């Protein structure tokens, strides 16, 4: 059995959900299905992951339009992540180049037969910039570009079977985690200067929230990843290898580190200049609520053939002009939690 510690038991910010959730979810889900980026079975499983709920839990106070942007952005993140997860470094880089090109020029039509990621990102950003302030546009492009570059490095690690040290893993994972580029969504209704966005105290606070989320994510996803042979890119594996701990010991170490990061966040929060309230603590709570279920004692999943695992997807855009992705999503979805 695998025990998942209650890492957020002492987090002072309560669960909250955006009142526009149901309305925006229906709109965004329908729009995403129109891309036909997934097979019918995979799309059904993707829907069960309920990424719109993640957005509503992590953006509980934003307007309807900003919630919609956040929902689509999360869809973009998860579909890019899944398209690239099973590919080698060269193919991954090709996909990421397409995404980056669409982000930099959302008004340029995408080439016929191109991977569907380009059109998904183009439509997302073409609408978002109609609402977003110029400073938030710049900050999102900068943080999303950092995510794409880190994803390319992750693909190289995956291809080489490389497992990083704890510190090296955390450094890379802060950029492959979705948290950093979610921050600009909160500032889209304002002109936030760089001296605020990149203030050392703010940067450290964002790093703290990012680490809290990635620790929770890796603790919960480790079970699926160890079963599918994809555990090298997981904090629990890095801890086990570097500190010679078993799974339970690594989970306990991660929980203690999580508590240390919480304290660092609380200490840093007291040093923030008075720029108004922050929604970042709600991101950590919302992400945790979306990921976790009531039972924290779960059976360790048996090993499966990686060809059948959700983490090792087969990219069908080479065979299907629509760019349809043929994932084994039911396995993946069964491990994802939607909290009511």
* 304 secondary structure, DSSP code: -
Query: What φ, ψ does residue 2 adopt, rounded to 5°?
Result: -120, 125
pTM > 0.85: yes or no? no
Q: What is the pLDDT of residue 177?
A: 87
Q: What is the pLDDT of residue 150?
A: 96
- In the predicted structure, residue 115 carries a pLDDT above the cut 50: yes
Q: What is the mean pLDDT of residues 203-212?
A: 93
Measured between alpha carbons, how far is 310 from 291 in angstroms, rounded to an integer?
17
Measured between alpha carbons, how far is 25 from 38 in angstroms, rounded to an integer?
18
Between 225 and 22, the more confident residue is 22
- In the predicted structure, residue 322 carries a pLDDT above the cut 60: no
Q: What is the pLDDT of residue 331?
A: 29
Q: What is the pLDDT of residue 287?
A: 53
* 314 secondary structure, DSSP code: E
Q: What is the pLDDT of residue 192?
A: 85
- Residue 154 and residue 176 in contact, taking contact as beta carbons nearer than 8 Å: yes
Between 308 and 328, the more confident residue is 308
């Amino acid at each position: 059995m695998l025990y998942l510690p209650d890492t957020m038991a002492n987090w002072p910010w309560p669960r909250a959900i955006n009142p526009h959730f149901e309305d925006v979810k229906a709109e965004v889900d329908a729009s995403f299905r129109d891309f036909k980026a997934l097979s019918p079975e995979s799309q059904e499983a993707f829907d069960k992951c309920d990424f719109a709920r993640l957005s509503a839990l992590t953006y509980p106070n934003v307007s309807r339009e900003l919630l919609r942007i956040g929902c689509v952005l999360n869809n973009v993140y998860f579909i890019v992540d899944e398209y690239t997860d099973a590919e080698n470094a060269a193919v991954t880089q090709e996909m990421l180049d397409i995404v980056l090109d669409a982000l930099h020029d959302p008004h340029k039509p995408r080439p016929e037969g191109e991977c569907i990621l380009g059109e998904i990102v183009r439509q997302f950003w073409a609408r978002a910039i109609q609402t977003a302030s110029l400073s938030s546009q710049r900050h999102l492009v900068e943080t999303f570009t950092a995510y794409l570059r880190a994803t390319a490095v992750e693909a190289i690690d995956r291809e080489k079977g490389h497992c990083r040290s704890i510190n090296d893993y955390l450094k890379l994972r802060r950029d492959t985690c979705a948290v950093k580029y979610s921050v600009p969504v909160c500032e889209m209704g304002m002109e936030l200067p760089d001296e605020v966005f990149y203030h050392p105290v703010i940067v450290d606070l964002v790093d703290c929230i990012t680490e809290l989320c990635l620790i929770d994510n890796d603790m919960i996803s480790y079970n699926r990843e160890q079963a599918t042979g994809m555990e090298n890119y997981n904090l629990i594996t890095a801890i086990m290898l570097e500190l010679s701990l078993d799974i339970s010991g690594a989970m306990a170490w991660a929980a203690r580190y999580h508590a240390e990061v919480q304290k660092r966040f609380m200490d840093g929060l007291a040093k923030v200049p008075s720029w108004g309230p922050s929604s970042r603590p709600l991101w950590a709570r919302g992400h945790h609520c979306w990921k976790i279920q009531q039972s924290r004692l779960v059976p360790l999943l048996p090993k499966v053939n990686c060809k059948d695992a959700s983490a090792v997807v087969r990219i069908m855009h080479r065979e299907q002009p629509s760019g349809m992705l043929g994932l084994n999503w039911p396995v993946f979805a069964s491990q994802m939690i939607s909290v009511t």
